Structure 1
Amino acid sequence: MCRHIAYLGPESALGGVLVDPPHALFRQSWAPRRQRYGTVNADGFGVGWYAEGDPVPGRYRRAGPIWGDQSFADLARVVRSGALLAAVRDATVAGADDEAAAAPFAAGAWLFSHNGAVAGWPRSLAHLADGLPAVELLSMEARNDSALVWALVLNRLRAGDEEGQALADTVLEVARAAPGSRLNLLLTNGETIAATAWGDTLWYLAEPGRSTVVASEPYDDDPHWVEVPDRTLLAASRTDVLLTPLKEPEDAIRPTDDETASASPKETSA
């Protein structure tokens, strides 16, 4: 489906996090070790990073595979940052959005990624889209499920919700409307990381006071990687990591037969 990673720590070349480790995101684009849905993440990639003194991150996104982009190889070698979010994408349905559909999505200081798929998309979330301000819908970068999930999260952030609450409430809202969805969300503002484990793998590696990495899967065999339990909200900084259980909505709307069929991994758009 996708693989993603967020890093907070000492300033490092992008490649030090995304390319150099033996099982880094770069390698996960063709040889993920723990991916449950899909096999090759070659339908786009992106990285967003923060520069000292500027709260608004820069982004580099492309529609093709990360391994075929020589410009990214140069960027990864020379660009340095102490905070980043990156993702590689596996989309089984063709679309016209190209790099606009590749995470990270961005607004202000925030970077966002979705690893998963919304069951019954797009009909299952039509009523949630109706509840968004028109400007939010018109500002969506792409027309896939991840972009709408981001619009729902962003609407909460702009209303004043803190990052973890915005992710948790969005996951529960989408899960209620579209049971069976996979909703691993990842969000950073350059100072903190919020993430959800909901239907796919999530891990973190923390060196308190120095660095925190949150990722779909470990990028090396360090024994200190910790797997996040399913149905969990993670909130992290450079100094600590907090895990909070999330409960399955009891009033979830059961999908129709047509929506259940469209939730197959062959019909996802994340």
Structure 2
Amino acid sequence: MCRHLAYLGPPVTLRALLYDPPHSLLRQSWAPRDMRGGGTINADGFGVGWYPDPAAGGSGAPVRYRRAQPVWSDATLPDLAAVTSTGAALAAVRSATVGMPVQESAAAPFTEGPWLFSHNGAVRGWPDSMVGPAADLPVRDLLTLDAPSDAALLWALVRHRLRGGADPARAVSDTVTSVAAAAPGSRLNLLLTDGRQVVASVAGHALSVRAGGGAVLLASEPTDDDPGWHAVPDGHLVVATTGGVRVRALPAALSSRAGTTGTTEGEL
């Protein structure tokens, strides 16, 4: 099912995000606490994307490091993470759905321009269920998918909406709504950031948020026992910045399965 996280805030090392917490993303790769929908470990690749400090010559575009191996077996990342600081990052460890390839290009985060994207979950009925939503994409986008996987297609759908001028929250919400209608029962926890805000959908899997001190961290599972963590209800969309976290219900077809109705909105 994968595990992912996103961070915005004062610069920290990648090691502080990926390795140091007691229930870090590293630990979640081999000892996850919540793998609803199948799977036991997240050993089919990993990736991390981060935004270099513009004051140090960064262009605003993220840097990405991905591998097709388990994160615990990578000998380079610990040293890289210890000396790399950033104020914005997205990282993921992967559990590939049966029948989908285990290759570097299939590991999140996916990226274009300022964006980083990840998917935690699975599209039910893949690939047949996605014939309808995929028909909205330009043929070139279909021919150049990062990988023949549900996550890569979800990224193409979100990216197509972003290219068309949709704001990030609308791009994620409309993609989740479209895919959920075509493939009911899918798990569609999406994570999107441009280094200034994070948009996340919670549809079929868990997501928790911890905010404070000018920082916000979103993660599939809390990385520590800090009481500041809040679970986001299923069927909701999160828009987070260092200034606050807004949560609103996704459309009724998604929010109703979580026992919510309407278009409630609030803060965490």
| TM-score > 0.5, shorter chain as reference | yes
Structure 1 runs of 4+ aligned residues shifted over 3 Å read 94-97
Q: Equivalents in 2 of 1:118, 1:108: separation in Å? A: 26
Aligned to 2:140, the other structure's residue is in SS state helix
Matched with 1:249 is 253
Structure 2 residue aligned with 1:212, among 204, 213, 216?
Answer: 216
Q: How does 1:63-74 map to 2 (within 5 A)?
A: 63-74=68-79
Give the letter aligned to residue 235 of structure 2: R
Aligned to 1:213, the other structure's residue is in SS state strand
Matched with 1:261 is none
Q: Which has the higher contact order (CA 8 A, sep 6+)?
A: 1
Q: Equivalents in 1 of 2:73, 2:99: separation in Å? A: 19
Matched with 1:12 is 12
CA contact (8 A) 1:2 1:88 kept: yes
Structure 2 residue aligned with 1:191, among 196, 204, 209?
Answer: 196
Aligned to 1:173, the other structure's residue is in SS state helix
Alignment partner of 1:152 is 2:152: no
Matched with 1:103 is 108
Give the letter aligned to residue 197 of structure 1: V
CA contact (8 A) 1:124 1:177 kept: yes
Matched with 1:256 is none
Q: Equivalents in 2 of 1:35, 1:216: separation in Å? A: 10
CA contact (8 A) 1:97 1:142 kept: no
CA contact (8 A) 2:97 2:122 kept: no
Q: Deviations over 1:78-133 (max 9, x none)?
A: 11111000000001425446010000000100000000000100000112212211
Residue range with higher mean Cα deviation, 89-98 or 116-125: 89-98
Identity, % of aligned positions: 54
Kindly state the Cα deviation for residue 138 of structure 1 after the two structures are TM-superposed. Answer: 2.3
Kindly state the Cα deviation for residue 247 of structure 1 after the two structures are TM-superposed. Answer: 2.7
CA contact (8 A) 1:172 1:248 kept: no
CA contact (8 A) 1:35 1:201 kept: no
Kindly state the Cα deviation for residue 33 of structure 1 after the two structures are TM-superposed. Answer: 1.7
Aligned to 1:194, the other structure's residue is in SS state strand
Matched with 2:36 is 36
State the TM-score, normalized to the length of structure 1: 0.90
Alignment partner of 1:237 is 2:212: no
Aligned to 1:21, the other structure's residue is in SS state coil
Structure 1 residue aligned with 2:168, among 163, 179, 189?
Answer: 163
Q: Equivalents in 2 of 1:175, 1:95: separation in Å? A: 20
Compared CA separation, residues 104 and 24, structure 1 to 2 (3 A): same
How many residues align structurally?
249
Matched with 1:268 is none
Matched with 1:120 is 125
Give the letter aligned to residue 46 of structure 1: G
Aligned to 2:145, the other structure's residue is in SS state coil
RMSD between aligned alpha carbons?
Answer: 1.2
Structure 1: state its 5+ residue gaps. Answer: 251-270
Matched with 1:25 is 25
Q: Equivalents in 2 of 1:123, 1:58: separation in Å? A: 34
Structure 2: state its 5+ residue gaps. Answer: 255-268
Kindly state the Cα deviation for residue 39 of structure 1 after the two structures are TM-superposed. Answer: 1.2
Q: Deviations over 1:42-89 (max 9, x none)?
A: 000000000012211010000010000011111111111110000000
CA contact (8 A) 2:48 2:65 kept: yes
CA contact (8 A) 1:97 1:143 kept: no
Q: Deviations over 1:171-199 (max 9, x none)?
A: 00000000000000000000000000000
Aligned to 2:77, the other structure's residue is in SS state helix
Q: Equivalents in 1 of 2:9, 2:42: separation in Å? A: 26
Alignment partner of 1:226 is 2:230: yes
Residue range with higher mean Cα deviation, 151-160 or 90-99: 90-99
